Amino acid sequence: MNAGRFLSLEGGEGAGKSTQARALAAALEARGLETVVTREPGGSEGAEAIRALLMQGDAGRWSARTEALLFAAARADHVERVIRPALAAGRWVICDRYLDSSRAYQGSAGQVEDAAILALHAFGAEGLLPDRTFLLALPADIGAARAAGRDGHAADRFAARDTGFHAAVAAAFDGFAAREPARFRRIDAAQPPATVTQAMLDALADWLP
Ligand code: TMP
């Protein structure tokens, strides 16, 4: 049995992560690989319950520190109940957001120290990192316009934040990708969707059958 691989998709609002996660899974399945598409916050029963706490209510419902704890708790359950078992069964896990979203949103944009977020992750999820992380990069203003068109007035606690917050998130992701080139592949998400999917496949060529 082939070893499973753990892939995460990251980026700001409206970058097309969910669509691309499904498209990448379909392309990998066409090559005979078994995939699991999942998301954060959420992806397991317990983590979806925590997601509801995180996404609903006004923007100030939780402080960035409390958010960091809730996201880490959700991630711990998701990793233990869904991600590790899937990898152990040889499946490819494609996760729509993961640890780097905590580092960008609660960390850089929310001013929680990166070391604190990594310490929570070391405890909660025993430090599990993706084998490869795709940053779907899009200027924050274009992403916000796309997300607004998609979500209408039902924007969640995060999408409702101001442009300065989303610009800080985008800059944080760019910084992670630049500092961790072995794990990250930065992809221009303004390209046509099929081009974005192909760019991810090209970046996995070394692992594909
Ligand atoms: P999404 O399902 O539309 O991607 O929404 C999830 C929101 O939660 C998004 O605005 C990013 C935010 N988020 C964090 O702030 N920290 C995290 O660790 C994760 C996974 C998501």
pLDDT tens readout for residues 106-151: 999 989 999 999 999 999 999 999 999 999 999 888 888 888 888 7
CA–centroid distance, residue 117 to ligand 1 (Å): 15
Higher-pLDDT residue of 149, 34: 34
Q: Cα-flanking dihedrals φ and ψ of residue 155, to 5°?
A: -60, 140
Q: How confident is the prediction for the chain on average, in pLDDT?
A: 94
CA–centroid distance, residue 105 to ligand 1 (Å): 8
Handedness of CA 178, 184, 190, 195 (dihedral sign): positive
Q: Which of 39, 40, 117 for a ligand 1 pocket mutation test, highest count of atoms within 8 Å of Cβ?
A: 40
Q: What number does the ligand 1 atom closest to the CA of 41 have? A: 20
Q: What number does the ligand 1 atom closest to the CA of 99 have? A: 18
For 74, left (φ over 0), alpha (ψ -120 to 50), or beta?
alpha
Alpha-carbon distance of 208 to 201, in angstroms, equals: 9
Among 11, 10, 8, residue whose Cα is nearest residue 142 = 11
Alpha-carbon distance of 158 to 70, in angstroms, equals: 14
Q: Is 131 exposed, middle or buried (0-12, 13-18, 19+ CB in 10 A)?
A: middle
Q: Is residue 153 pLDDT above 60, yes or no?
A: no
Among 130, 69, 124, 79, residue whose Cα is nearest residue 102 = 69
Among 10, 187, 38, 24, residue whose Cα is nearest residue 103 = 10
Alpha-carbon distance of 25 to 47, in angstroms, equals: 22
Alpha-carbon distance of 158 to 166, in angstroms, equals: 9
pLDDT of residue 144: 82
Tell me, using a 6 A CB cutoff, whether residue 134 lines ligand 1.
no
Q: Which of 97, 166, 176 for a ligand 1 pocket mutation test, highest count of atoms within 8 Å of Cβ?
A: 97
Of the candidate ranges 3-17, 158-172, 181-195, the one whose mean pLDDT is the lowest: 158-172
- C-alpha Rg value of the chain to the nearest Å: 16
Higher-pLDDT residue of 1, 179: 179
CA–centroid distance, residue 157 to ligand 1 (Å): 9
Pick the CATH number of 6-203 from 3.40.50.300, 3.20.20.70, 3.40.50.2300, 3.40.1160.10: 3.40.50.300
pTM: 0.96
Tell me, using a 6 A CB cutoff, whether residue 97 lines ligand 1.
yes
Alpha-carbon distance of 130 to 5, in angstroms, equals: 8
Residues of 6-22 as b/e, b for ≥16 C-beta within 10 angstroms? bbbbbbbbbbbbeebbe
Q: What percent of the chain is modeled with pLDDT above 90?
A: 83
